[in-house]
Amino acid sequence: MMQRRGRSMLAGGVMAVITAVTLSGCALTGGGDAGADGGPIELTLWTHEFAPLQDAMQKKWIPEFEAAHPDVTIKMTSVPLAGAVSYDSKLLSTLSSGAGPDVWDMGSWNFPSFQKQGFLAPIDPSAFGYTDDADLLGAYDPASLAELSYDEKLYGMFSEFDTLATYYNTDVFASAGIPDLPSDKPVSWQEIGEIGSKLRQEENGAVTRTGYQFGFFANFKDAQWYSQNFYTLLRQYGQDDVYIDGKPAGDTEAVRNTLQLFSDFVYKYKAYDPTFLNNWFADVPDGRAAMVSAGTWYAGAALANNPDFRFKVVPNPVVDPDDPATYKDISYFWGWAVNAHADSARQAAAQEFLAFILGKKGETAQADYWFTNLGYLQPSTAYLSSDAFAAAIAKSPYLQTFIDALKNYEVSPPQHVYDEAGAAIVAAIDAVIYNHATAENAAAELQAALQRADG
């Protein structure tokens, strides 16, 4: 009897110990192996979900890096940008807990706050073959460094840097008898709206084609795209941000004009149908939409969806083509970051990995791979002045539109994306495009929301 009791106590004790050990293991593990003792290292790499990026990593860079560095393995995870749990939220929560990936990519909007919160390790110039921070910073176009450098140090490496231009499906234009858009000068948003109106198609009561695709729609409610399209227009109408001198400025003429233009595209021109669009990279290639404003990275993903996609790229529309002061656009960039909480060995391995995939001082082969295969432009002076870059432009002349846009347009990143002001912008645009709100009412609501967020 006593033996049985003892056995049952022992079994219960074992279960308790197993549970405690399992639970503590859950809490403590998270990153890869430590590697601080000089042993093998498993680096955790996170990227946003973008098929060409996953392919590049899994088929080229990770196998090549692991072959060249037998003591380091890379464990890659890709997270949907705007899924049930968005990439940004997942990054923020995991980094806040002191864990998180060793190296990851992220949009420009996260760099200022992540740097402020101490999540980002400074980039080690020596890992990239530079003598010091000044040498590294000097290798890039100064205008491109705004969101990545703090106190003369770089806290991220470029994944891609470009701006937006307009892609259009030439077969759709030809079938509708619409002449090609000029490639040397932007057209006005009003003209795009009118062309989009002609390109809209219906069959038996159902919409079968919409003229223009903004970056956000009912099935893809991503704040990044609301913000990018909003700020493009806002700046063209003469206002830089929804805050002026630190005070909310959501109910201004520029904001009202911006919201009115979204409204016009939906209701006046019927050029943009946010409930019809369904697939970012397939709607234009498959002819369900005719035009889209996108970056250099669009072509690769669009052609993967439809290899027969024929397109041209022209400068992004502006509110007044005759007034160069309205030639404004957002800069679009993503960067690579290294986890400041990782130990020194892991940080060094992460920086070595970035140097391997992005190239060291003077190297341009890596940058050329990213540009020619994914349209990811790294704005290093070495690459922009290289023969490889010239050859890439000669092979894909449409890319020149983006290079010209970086010169001809005043570009800067949108100020508010994944924050309360960004959410207020989303709500204001939604109000005009879905709820038929007037631009005036939506602007007043935006102002009230900004004041609440400010208070």
Q: Note the residues at the interface with other proteins (CB under 8 A).
A: 5, 8-9, 12-13, 15-16, 18-20, 23, 83-84, 86, 88-89, 92-93, 95-96, 113, 117-119, 204-208, 218-219, 221, 274-276, 278, 418-420, 423, 426-428, 430-431, 433-435, 437, 452
Cβ proximity of 370 and 91 under 8 Å: no
- Return the closest-CA partner of residue 74 out of 92, 47, 38, 113: 47
Minimum distance of other proteins from residue 26's CB (angstroms) = 9
Q: Is the dihedral of CA 149, 150, 153, 159 positive or negative?
A: negative
Torsion of CA 54, 55, 60, 62, to 10 degrees: 30
Q: Which is nearer to other proteins, 133 or 419 (CB)?
A: 419
Q: Which two tokens stand for residue 174?
A: 């030809």
Q: Which two tokens stand for residue 206?
A: 């159902």
Q: Which is nearer to other proteins, 393 or 423 (CB)?
A: 423
Minimum distance of other proteins from residue 84's CB (angstroms) = 5
Three-state SS for 59-98 is HHHHHHHHHHCCCEEEEEEEECCCCCCCHHHHHHHHHHCC
Q: Which is nearer to other proteins, 109 or 370 (CB)?
A: 109
Cβ proximity of 229 and 223 under 8 Å: no
Minimum distance of other proteins from residue 30's CB (angstroms) = 16
Q: Which is nearer to other proteins, 267 or 434 (CB)?
A: 434
CA–CA separation, 348 and 359 (whole Å): 15
- The residue behind tokens 């002349």 is 397
CA–CA separation, 293 and 121 (whole Å): 34
Minimum distance of other proteins from residue 143's CB (angstroms) = 29
The string of DSSP letters for 91-144 reads HHHHHHTT---SEEEEETTHHHHHHHTT-BPPP-GGGGT-SSHHHHHTTB-GGG
Q: Which is nearer to other proteins, 200 or 328 (CB)?
A: 200
Minimum distance of other proteins from residue 90's CB (angstroms) = 8
Q: Which two tokens stand for residue 258?
A: 């911006």
CA–CA separation, 126 and 132 (whole Å): 7
Minimum distance of other proteins from residue 275's CB (angstroms) = 4
Minimum distance of other proteins from residue 449's CB (angstroms) = 8
CA–CA separation, 342 and 26 (whole Å): 18
Q: Which is nearer to other proteins, 276 or 298 (CB)?
A: 276
CA–CA separation, 423 and 429 (whole Å): 10
Q: Which is nearer to other proteins, 17 or 34 (CB)?
A: 17
Q: Which is nearer to other proteins, 384 or 448 (CB)?
A: 448
Minimum distance of other proteins from residue 3's CB (angstroms) = 13
Q: Which is nearer to other proteins, 59 or 452 (CB)?
A: 452
Q: Which is nearer to other proteins, 382 or 423 (CB)?
A: 423
CA angle 9/14/20 to nearest 5° reads 125
Q: Which is nearer to other proteins, 177 or 205 (CB)?
A: 205
**Strand runs labelled E in 343-443:** 410-412
Q: Is 379 helix (H, G, I), strand (E, B) or coil?
A: coil
Minimum distance of other proteins from residue 118's CB (angstroms) = 8
Minimum distance of other proteins from residue 306's CB (angstroms) = 17
CA–CA separation, 145 and 74 (whole Å): 28
Minimum distance of other proteins from residue 278's CB (angstroms) = 6
Length of the chain: 455
CA–CA separation, 382 and 135 (whole Å): 13
